[in-house]
Amino acid sequence: MTKTKNKKTFVLDTNVILHDYRSIYNFEDNDIVIPITVLEELDKFKRGNDQINYHAREFVRELDQISGSDFFLKGAPLGKGRGRLFIQTGVPFSPKMNDSFGEDIPDHRILAIAEYITEKREGEKVVLVSKDMNLRMKARSLGILAEDYKTDQVKDLEVSLNKCIETKEDFSQELIAKLYESGEAGIPVETFFPKEEIKGNNYYILKNGSNSVLACYDPVRKVVRKVEKLNTFGIYPKNSEQAFALDALMNPNISLVALSGKAGTGKTLLALAAALQQNKAFEQIYLARPIVALSNKDLGYLPGDVNEKVSPYMQPLFDNLAVIKHRYNMHSQENRLIEDMLKDERLVISALAYIRGRSLSNVFFIVDEAQNLTPHEVKTIITRAGEGVKMVFTGDIDQIDSPYLDRQSNGLSHLFDRMQGQDIFAHVHLEKGERSYLAEVASNLL
């Protein structure tokens, strides 16, 4: 949060804690107020295996550790350089609250407390922090200051997207020719970009008139090399972005890859094809996606056993596998390999929730729809990686299903913003749709 000279008081909504259970430590020297209603709501989330359930449990443990005998009277210190944490019990609805929001529901009780704290701490800036846009709007209608939880938001998102692939116009024709000649042998980076400090796996389109070459900076050898268009398990890149994506996916020195872009750009298909191409290098290929249940309902509300509940959510992943299988004859060696891998569970397509608690080793792990994960969830997944693991996160940051995430606060954006420049990481943003002309036009215009 932004540091100011005047001390503030922040009232936290439940969804902030479920998003980041350590959020109370991210408000510098300002005081934090937790409405009692939030504790009631957290109690409902304590049981379960999803990340929000984990966050609910961890916050309650954190609260138990810092609270003392006079906690409800004087609050609790949050540490050096931080403010104090208070719990505010319920308050009656004001006439203004009753006139506007008479229904007694948790959101309105939190609003009532925010209004009460605002009046109680007159002269001090009181802000309701919520990831619920509608609740923030309700707060403002009452004259209550309200804002999103900003700690893990990406500030310069467009800069991060544009940096992963750079186009150099009027580049030296001599150097382009030299790169074509030497190819993988590598040319010192200073020869290409004498005034630039380059790090990480940057991708470039180097142009001179009608001549161009695809190139990549290799941070391990500290050279610029030519990027070839690889035929990967029947999938051939249709544009430069896809060529860069396959280069990152097939590079053994890159253990973490982020592929962002709109629907139809081939993110998941490329990742799956690269994994199958390298099947001998990994013990298992794991393709998973988070489940964002409809109407915020748990999977338990859906009929059937576990597989029947999950199957509709996993169908897009099986569709990508079918595209690859259709590249070959039904009785081909490639299709037999895929069937054998599925049978032996060397190729697993599953809901992301089912990998919780697992330690991953020697696995090619693809997380689809990663834009629906929080930054903390992405971190939790990556920190499970053992030796020999390659992780790929794919997603479209403009198609977020979670009501409390946006382009700047989702886990995929957070990942490529924070990991940019690391030797083991590559990010490719794909913009050109390749499903069909119809799909491309619809994506751009509708």
Lowest-confidence segment of 244-253, 350-359, 410-419 by average pLDDT: 350-359
Residues 135 and 29 in one domain: yes
- Split into its structural domains, the chain has a count of 2
Mean pLDDT of 281-301: 68
Query: What global pTM score does this model have?
Result: 0.81
The pLDDT of residue 216: 93
The pair phi, psi for residue 80, each rounded to 5°, is: -60, 130
Residue 1 has pLDDT above 50, yes or no: no
pLDDT band at 300 (very low <50, low <70, confident <90, very high): very low
Q: Single out the residue in 92, 113, 148 at which a domain terminates.
A: 148
Q: What is the C-alpha separation between 38 and 41, in angstroms, rounded?
A: 5
Q: Checking DSSP bridges between strand 125-129 and strand 165-168, what pairing results, if any?
A: unpaired
Residue 197 domain flag: no
**CA–CA separation, 273 vs 426, rounded Å?**
17
Residue 406 lies inside a defined structural domain of this protein: yes
Q: State the distance between the two ends of the chain, measured CA to CA, in whole angstroms.
A: 36
Q: Nearest-CA neighbor of 79 among 27, 116, 126, 40? A: 27
Strands, sheet with 390-395, edge to edge from the N-terminal-most edge strand: 347-351, 284-289, 363-367, 390-395, 256-261, 425-430
Q: Are 271 and 129 members of one domain?
A: no
Answer whether residue 92 shows pLDDT above 50. Answer: yes
| 7 has a pLDDT exceeding 90 | no
DSSP string, 291-315: ---GGG--GGGSSS-HHHHHHHHHH
128: CATH: 3.40.50.1010
Give residue 296's pLDDT band: very low, low, confident or very high (50, 70, 90). very low
Q: Is 227 inside any structural domain?
A: no
Same domain assignment for residues 141 and 249: no
Co-location of 124 and 244 in the same domain:
no
Q: Is residue 169 part of a domain?
A: no
pLDDT of residue 376: 87
446 pLDDT tier (thresholds 50, 70, 90):
low
Tell me: do 144 and 242 sit in the same domain.
no
Q: Do 117 and 123 meet the contact criterion of CB atoms below 8 Å apart? A: no
Is it the case that residue 434 has pLDDT exceeding 90? no
Judged by average pLDDT, the poorest of 26-30, 92-96, 113-117, 195-199 is 195-199
Q: Do 264 and 132 share a structural domain? A: no
Specify if 212 maps to a domain.
no
Tokens of 160: 């991060």
Among 148, 170, 185, where does a domain finish? Answer: 148
Long-range contacts of 1-4 (CB under 8 A, 24+ apart): 1/26, 1/27, 1/28, 1/30, 1/150, 1/151, 3/28
For residue 329, tell me if it sits in a domain. Answer: yes
Q: Domain ends where: 90, 124, 148? A: 148
Task: Give the span between the Cα atoms of 397 and 409, in whole angstroms.
Answer: 10
Q: Do 110 and 255 share a domain, yes or no?
A: no
Clarify whether residues 114 and 249 are in a common domain.
no
How many Cβ atoms from other residues are within 10 Å of residue 194's Cβ? 7
- Tell me the two tokens of residue 358: 């697992």
Average pLDDT, the chain: 87
Q: Distance between CA 69 and CA 67 in Å, rounded? A: 7
Of residues 442 and 152, more confidence is placed in: 152
In a domain, 80, yes or no: yes
Residue 338 lies in a domain: yes
Predicted local distance difference test score (pLDDT) of residue 190: 84
* Domain membership of residue 288 as a residue range: 238-445
Q: Which of 227-231, 434-438, 441-445 has the highest mean pLDDT?
A: 227-231
- Flag whether pLDDT at 237 surpasses 90: yes
Q: Is the pLDDT of residue 244 over 90?
A: yes
The model's confidence at residue 13, banded by pLDDT at 50, 70 and 90, is: very high
- Matching residue, tokens 């859906």: 302
Same domain, 251 and 141: no
CATH of the domain at 412: 3.40.50.300
pLDDT band at 302 (very low <50, low <70, confident <90, very high): very low
